[in-house]
């Protein structure tokens, strides 16, 4: 019943994606309909940046909907999904504040309904509640910032804001930036406004998580780009510096939390925080370079950020869809119950591996190209002759490198514990592979990951166009020659196609060598070497928690784990242990140190404010009189 609906949405997604690509290539248009939205009407405008994000939205929606055809069996949530997809498509195109905010709110509400998914248990309700509160707090900031800007410029149209941006007074500029940045950053999931992300993305059904992680948080980045580079440009250096530092922090903190998580979907959600951090490193770098008047370097950093945005949409969607297939087959999200799924779900495993290799930035796939570009943008910071800026860039480089290493470790764990070795539970033992439409969606995304990597020489010039339109100044950040592209100043160059060809040749060469050397290449089946022990059971395999243990020790100061050992001893003698349960969970520092105190403070304030609600009708009439007098005076 719902399958045809999702199939239709898939079609629309593909169409929207293609329209977006035409926008990137330069086909701009506007659309104004006066009536639908109050205070200015519905206004849509296509320019290269909007086209890029629309393409991102369109293709991700297509993939998720194709997956949903085989994944979703209930009717509940179909309407919310359609509304969500539509809103995601309208946000990048929005050309005035009301269209933008309305679409934003529809996006938030629809995704809230999808996160809740009609369930009634406490964790789901909590996830939905935290999400609702955070997203509306962000909306409040956005509303405040946009209305402030609108009241100064006298208009709600983005084009007018762009034109008026050089003339804004510094205090207003900084205030609006702060409000808009907080609003967009909370949507993007930047530390410390990230608490909703792991809860919501792991609670939602997987095709929705894929869209939320792959697309929705990118719209936060979209907002930051519009605000920082168009509506409020040119901004002071601390904007770029703050974004870069927060990006580096998000990158490291996100992946550190992902490493120690045994819930597959929460691991992917934290990894999204990490990747948003990487994108923001690029955006922050771009803002700093703009300030330092290094146009081509700013364009380079922006290209790196945009490329990583597209790549993350591709591989994170893929990973979430794969995780969804695994969760669907095993009915649990805990990796401690997985194992051996590569033999029972070969397609899902192969696609998930492609996603894992991409997100770990391994050559020659897409993640490598965008991280390479980000590194090159950071490494060139020496050309900006200010030591303070250089120091920030050096720290950003170190953070990015640490993140890259930790991401590879995290996805070795995610893929290895989930798919390899023996099944750790009955559910994993009897798992079945995904349905045809799910496989199709995942395979298409895996192919996209490869294509986005190998096609870098085509994509980079297109992104250079987008960067030029955003920064408003033409520059030559990169130079493409045949299969190689190089960055400005001959600093570095890369050819993903040649690297891929080299790797393929390198795979074939040992086979040729072995045949030529007369190696019989015989293999006999046996059992795993276990020091001669009698039985091999899944209990002897490494667990997700054990795999992350070295990291938990090294980063003890960050995780502050609390070890718990529960012993059940034999009643006759305490030396015979019947059962032992060991847990060493990391503490959620942001919850404990930031949110709980803030919430406690707010509750205390609310307690004081409660004094106003005395229930006395005369007091209420008195309030109304006071408010009326105040309004009359202030007019």
- Residue 130 CB, shortest distance to other proteins, in Å, is 30
Helix extents (H) in 420-495: 426-429, 436-454, 456-471
Q: Going by C-beta distance under 8 Å and a sequence separation of 6 or more, which residues neighbour residue 178?
A: 145
- Residue 491 CB, shortest distance to other proteins, in Å, is 5
Task: Choose between 334 and 536: whose C-beta lies nearer to other proteins.
Answer: 536
- Residue 495 CB, shortest distance to other proteins, in Å, is 5
Rounded CA-CA distance 598/266 in Å is 24
Q: Going by C-beta distance under 8 Å and a sequence separation of 6 or more, which residues neighbour residue 501?
A: none
Count of residues making up the chain: 635
3-state SS assignment for residue 45? strand
- Residue 92 CB, shortest distance to other proteins, in Å, is 31
Task: Choose between 525 and 611: whose C-beta lies nearer to other proteins.
Answer: 525
- Residue 504 CB, shortest distance to other proteins, in Å, is 8
Task: Choose between 58 and 416: whose C-beta lies nearer to other proteins.
Answer: 416
- Residue 296 CB, shortest distance to other proteins, in Å, is 15
Task: Choose between 44 and 365: whose C-beta lies nearer to other proteins.
Answer: 365
- Residue 527 CB, shortest distance to other proteins, in Å, is 6
- Side-chain half-sphere exposure of 581, counting CA atoms within 13 A: 3
Q: Pick from 509, 529, 525: which is nearest to 517 by CA?
A: 509
State the DSSP code for 166. Answer: G
Task: Choose between 169 and 532: whose C-beta lies nearer to other proteins.
Answer: 532
- Residue 302 CB, shortest distance to other proteins, in Å, is 19
Q: Confirm if 321 and 438 have CB atoms less than 8 A apart.
A: yes
Task: Choose between 317 and 397: whose C-beta lies nearer to other proteins.
Answer: 397
CA torsion angle for 534, 535, 540, 541 (degrees, to 10)?
A: 120
- Residue 417 CB, shortest distance to other proteins, in Å, is 7
Q: Confirm if 442 and 347 have CB atoms less than 8 A apart.
A: yes
- Residue 303 CB, shortest distance to other proteins, in Å, is 16
Task: Choose between 139 and 362: whose C-beta lies nearer to other proteins.
Answer: 362
Cα 301-407-251 angle, rounded to 5 deg: 50
State the DSSP code for 75. Answer: S
Q: Confirm if 313 and 441 have CB atoms less than 8 A apart.
A: no
Task: Choose between 185 and 256: whose C-beta lies nearer to other proteins.
Answer: 256
Task: Choose between 89 and 322: whose C-beta lies nearer to other proteins.
Answer: 322
Residue located via tokens 């299969």: 483
Q: In Å, what is the CA distance from 493 to each residue of 52, 106, 156, 370, 409? A: 24, 43, 43, 13, 27
- Which DSSP string do the residues of 214-241 spell out, in sequence order? IIIHHHHHHHHHHIIIIISPSPPHHHHH
Helices 436-454 & 295-330, crossing angle to 10 degrees? 160
Q: Confirm if 83 and 106 have CB atoms less than 8 A apart.
A: yes
3-state SS assignment for residue 194? coil
Q: Pick from 225, 150, 146, 216: which is nearest to 186 by CA?
A: 216
- Residue 421 CB, shortest distance to other proteins, in Å, is 3
Task: Choose between 531 and 634: whose C-beta lies nearer to other proteins.
Answer: 531
DSSP strand pairing (493-494 vs 484-487): antiparallel
Task: Choose between 382 and 569: whose C-beta lies nearer to other proteins.
Answer: 382
Task: Choose between 482 and 631: whose C-beta lies nearer to other proteins.
Answer: 482
Task: Choose between 504 and 625: whose C-beta lies nearer to other proteins.
Answer: 504
Q: Confirm if 446 and 350 have CB atoms less than 8 A apart.
A: yes
Helices 436-454 & 496-516, crossing angle to 10 degrees? 100
Cα–chain center distance at 468:
25
Q: Pick from 284, 477, 494: which is nearest to 396 by CA?
A: 284
- Residue 125 CB, shortest distance to other proteins, in Å, is 36
Rounded CA-CA distance 258/548 in Å is 10
Q: Quickly count: other Cβ atoms within 10 Å of residue 432's Cβ.
A: 11
Task: Choose between 397 and 425: whose C-beta lies nearer to other proteins.
Answer: 397
Rounded CA-CA distance 572/576 in Å is 8
Task: Choose between 150 and 414: whose C-beta lies nearer to other proteins.
Answer: 414
């Amino acid at each position: 019943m719902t399958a045809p609906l999702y199939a239709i949405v898939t079609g629309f997604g593909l169409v929207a994606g293609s329209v977006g690509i035409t926008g990137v290539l330069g086909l701009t248009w506007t659309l104004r309909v006066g009536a639908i939205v109050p205070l200015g009407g519905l206004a849509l405008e296509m320019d290269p940046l909007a086209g890029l994000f629309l393409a991102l939205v369109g293709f991700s929606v297509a993939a998720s909907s194709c997956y949903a055809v085989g994944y979703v069996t209930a009717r509940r949530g179909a309407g919310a999904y359609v509304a969500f997809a539509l809103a995601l498509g309208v946000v990048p195109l929005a050309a005035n504040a009301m269209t933008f905010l309305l679409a934003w709110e529809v996006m938030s509400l629809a995704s809230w309904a999808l996160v809740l998914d009609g369930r009634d248990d406490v964790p789901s309700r909590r996830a939905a509640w935290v999400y609702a509160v955070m997203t509306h707090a962000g909306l409040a900031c956005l509303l405040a910032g946009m209305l402030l800007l609108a009241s100064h410029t006298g208009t709600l149209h983005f084009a007018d804001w762009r034109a008026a941006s050089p003339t804004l007074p510094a205090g207003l500029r900084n205030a609006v930036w702060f409000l808009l940045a907080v609003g967009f950053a909370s949507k993007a999931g930047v530390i410390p406004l990230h608490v909703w992300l792991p809860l919501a993305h792991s609670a939602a059904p997987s095709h929705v998580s894929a869209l939320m992680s792959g697309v929705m948080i990118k719209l936060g980045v979209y907002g930051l780009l519009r605000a920082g580079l168009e509506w409020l440009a040119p901004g002071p250096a601390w904007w770029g510096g703050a974004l870069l530092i927060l990006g580096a922090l998000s990158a490291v903190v996100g992946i550190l939390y992902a490493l120690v998580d045994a819930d597959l979907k929460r691991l992917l959600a934290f990894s999204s925080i990490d990747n948003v951090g990487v994108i923001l490193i690029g955006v922050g770098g771009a803002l700093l370079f703009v300030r330092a008047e290094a146009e081509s370097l700013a364009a380079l950093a922006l290209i790196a950020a945009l490329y990583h945005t597209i790549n993350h949409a591709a591989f994170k969607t893929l990973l979430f869809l794969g995780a969804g297939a695994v969760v669907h087959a095993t009915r649990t999200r805990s990796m401690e119950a997985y194992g051996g799924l590569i033999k029972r779900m070969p397609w899902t495993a192969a696609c998930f591996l492609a996603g894992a290799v991409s997100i770990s930035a391994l050559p020659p796939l897409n993640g490598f190209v965008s991280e390479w570009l980000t590194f090159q943008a950071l490494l060139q910071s020496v050309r900006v002759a200010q030591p303070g800026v250089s120091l920030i860039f050096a720290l950003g480089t170190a953070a990015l490198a640490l993140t890259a290493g930790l991401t590879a470790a995290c996805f070795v764990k995610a893929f290895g514990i989930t798919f390899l070795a023996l099944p750790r539970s009955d559910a994993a033992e009897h798992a079945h592979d995904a349905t045809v439409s799910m496989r199709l969606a995942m395979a298409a995304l895996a192919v996209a990951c490869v294509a986005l990597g190998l096609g870098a020489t085509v994509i980079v010039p297109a992104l250079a166009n987008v960067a030029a339109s955003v920064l408003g100044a033409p520059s030559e950040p990169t130079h493409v020659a045949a299969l190689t592209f190089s960055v400005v100043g001959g600093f570095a160059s890369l050819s993903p196609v040649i690297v891929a060809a080299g790797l393929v040749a390198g795979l074939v060469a040992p086979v040729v060598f072995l045949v030529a050397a007369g190696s019989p290449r015989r293999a006999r089946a046996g059992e795993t070497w276990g020091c001669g022990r009698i039985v091999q059971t899944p209990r002897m395999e490494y667990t997700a928690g054990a795999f992350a243990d070295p990291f938990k020790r090294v980063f003890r100061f960050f995780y502050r784990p609390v070890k718990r050992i529960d012993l059940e001893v034999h009643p006759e003698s305490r030396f015979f242990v019947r059962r032992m349960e060991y847990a060493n969970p990391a503490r959620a520092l942001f919850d404990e140190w930031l949110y709980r105190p803030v919430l406690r403070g707010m509750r205390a304030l609310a307690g004081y404010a409660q004094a106003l609600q005395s229930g006395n009708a005369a007091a209420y009439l008195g309030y109304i009189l006071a408010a009326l007098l105040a309004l009359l005076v202030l007019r």
